[in-house]
Structure 1
Amino acid sequence: MARRPAPPQYEAITEGVRIRVRPRFLHDESEPGRSHFMWSYSIEVENESDRVWTIARRHWRIVDSAGRVQAVDGEGVVGQTPTLSPGERFSYTSGAPLATPSGLMSGTYDLVGENGEEMVAIIPAFSLDSPYDTSRPS
């Protein structure tokens, strides 16, 4: 069996908060014949600033290859509101289903500082690609 290449990594930095994303197509959880395509994405948030930040809310924009847009908003990430001191990292993995074989995700985190200051950190846009997307050149 051929080894699959490592998934690409996407990265953005907002005022010293670095966010890295690594999406991965989940072959075993996808059913192309039923228009069900599943990805996981691993995110690492690293606080390179000199301030303490808490991830209070997340905002996602998911666009499938048919142009359908889905917005996902909620408290924290994966049921947590992690606080990151300078130099600390927080990592988690979540998932995204689509009815098409490809799409794009982008978003933001609302961060709150220890003195009540607020910042919007950019989550880099990343592509959700599968081998079932025939619209892409091979």
Structure 2
Amino acid sequence: MSTPDTPLPPYRIEVSAKAEYVAAQSRPEDEHYVFAYHVTIRNAGSQPAQLLSRHWVITDGNGKVQEVHGQGVIGEQPLLAPGESFGYTSGCVMETPVGTMHGSYQMVAGDGHRFDAAIAPFMLAMPHVLH
């Protein structure tokens, strides 16, 4: 938290993510587990920042890794003014009922500075699989 005496850092993006199991689209008998994840991206810096691309690392319960690279998120490259947030929902498919995701967003600030915004690991889990 900054106080009135402490200026905001110029480049600071906060990312929160939460996943949920999508039973209606999953077929456990075929090792097909679908998860939706809800992401909120908040510009906590003093510079406007635009999300250019994404890099996700999805690891299933067997240790199999899928990497996803792409432009923007859900077809958008949101520009966030200081204090603004952008939320979206997307999804992934795994062969196991438990896994993790993490990654980064590649950003460009209003002054042209490019930087990565880290996405901390979060759990993907079918209900009642973990205790």
* Partners of 2:59 and 2:101 within 8 A in 1: yes
For residues 56-93 of structure 1, the C-alpha deviation after alignment (integer angstroms, 9 at most, x for no partner) is 01000011111111110011111111000011110000
Residues in 2 aligned to 1:18 and 1:84: alpha-carbon distance in whole angstroms: 12
One-letter code of the match for 2:20? R
Alignment partner of 2:78 out of 74, 78, 82: 82
* Partners of 1:40 and 1:94 within 8 A in 2: yes
* Partners of 1:107 and 1:125 within 8 A in 2: yes
| 1:131 Cα deviation from its structure 2 partner | 3.2
* Partners of 2:18 and 2:39 within 8 A in 1: yes
For 1:54, the equivalent position in structure 2 comes to 50
Alignment partner of 2:13 out of 17, 20, 45: 17
Q: What is the root-mean-square deviation of aligned Cα atoms in Å?
A: 1.2
What secondary structure, in the 3-state scheme, does the structure 1 residue paired with 2:17 have?
strand
Which stretches of structure 1, 4 residues or longer, exceed 6 Å deviation after superposition? none
One-letter code of the match for 2:84? E
1:1-138 equivalences under 5 Å are: 15-131=11-127, 133=129, 136=130, 138=131
One-letter code of the match for 2:26? S
For 1:7, the equivalent position in structure 2 comes to none
TM-score (norm 2): 0.88
| 1:132 Cα deviation from its structure 2 partner | 6.6
Alpha carbons of 1:32 and 1:132: their partners in 2 closer, same or farther (altered >3 Å)?
farther
- The alignment of Structure 1 onto Structure 2 pairs a total of residues equal to 121
Residues in 2 aligned to 1:62 and 1:129: alpha-carbon distance in whole angstroms: 13
For residues 72-119 of structure 1, the C-alpha deviation after alignment (integer angstroms, 9 at most, x for no partner) is 001111111100001111000000110111111000000001221011
* Partners of 1:101 and 1:132 within 8 A in 2: no
Sequence identity percentage: 34
Residues in 1 aligned to 2:14 and 2:103: alpha-carbon distance in whole angstroms: 14
Residues in 2 aligned to 1:63 and 1:118: alpha-carbon distance in whole angstroms: 27
